[in-house]
Amino acid sequence: MQSTTSAFHFSSGAGNSAADTASDKSQVKFDSMDILQGNKSITIQHNGSLYRLQATKLGKLILTK
């Protein structure tokens, strides 16, 4: 598996409704295309373990340890 280091610049984006504003404060949303950056899969390091995030041909995401 190829290892690539990338810098991500995340923004919370402004919501148009009260529900959007409330959810923006509790969760940050990321577009999978920004995370995958054209790759079919990436490796994520979390709490000392490596995970693989993979996009399928059907547009689904699979996260495996």
> What is the span of the domain harbouring residue 49?
31-64
Is the pTM above the cut of 0.75?
no
For residue 59, being part of any structural domain is answered with: yes
For residue 44, being part of any structural domain is answered with: yes
**Cα–Cα nearest to 40, from 59, 64, 14, 15:** 59
What pLDDT digit, counting tens, does each position of 24-65 carry?
A: 678 999 999 999 999 999 999 999 999 999 999 999 999 999
Q: What is the pLDDT of residue 59?
A: 94
**Cα–Cα nearest to 8, from 47, 35, 45, 46:** 35
Q: How many domains does the structure of the chain reveal?
A: 1
For residue 52, being part of any structural domain is answered with: yes
Residue 43's CATH number: 2.10.70.10
For residue 20, being part of any structural domain is answered with: no
**14 falls in which pLDDT band (50, 70, 90)?**
very low
